[in-house]
Amino acid sequence: MLQWKGVMPAVTTKFTTDDQLDLAMFEKNIKAQMEAGVHGIILGGTLGEASTLEPDEKETLIKTSLAITDGKIPVVMNVAEQSTKNAIAMAQQHFVAHNALQ
């Protein structure tokens, strides 16, 4: 169970000039956060990102973050969909994806 304590920054999502996820910069940011001693990472939590990222982008960010953090700190994806039905579906999808990686 996630314990909400310590510093858990909402990290920004980096994009390239051609509007693709910039995973190299994203990884650099996550590693810098970890080196600074954060207690967890929150994805899609800034500037309304959770409601504007595409589902496949969210999935990529989750999988990439879990690979980088390697179970050392929790990774949380903000769920901010346009409807309750979509929010539940997105949360269930991410939960299944996370458990498949364990």
> Is 23 a domain residue?
no
Residue 89, burial from CB neighbour count under 10 angstroms (0-12, 13-18, 19+): middle
H or E stretch covering 42 = strand 41-43
For residues 86 and 81, give the distance between their C-alpha atoms in angstroms, rounded to a whole number.
Answer: 6
Q: Number of structural domains, the chain?
A: 1
> Is 12 a domain residue?
no
Q: Convert the pLDDT of each residue in 46-87 to its tens digit.
A: 667 877 888 899 889 999 999 999 999 999 888 877 888 988
Q: What is the CA radius of gyration of the chain?
A: 13
Q: How many other β-carbons are positioned within 10 Å of the β-carbon of residue 97?
A: 15
> Is 33 a domain residue?
yes
> Is 71 a domain residue?
yes
Mean pLDDT for the stretch of residues 27-42: 97
Residue 94 binned pLDDT confidence (cut-offs 50, 70, 90): low
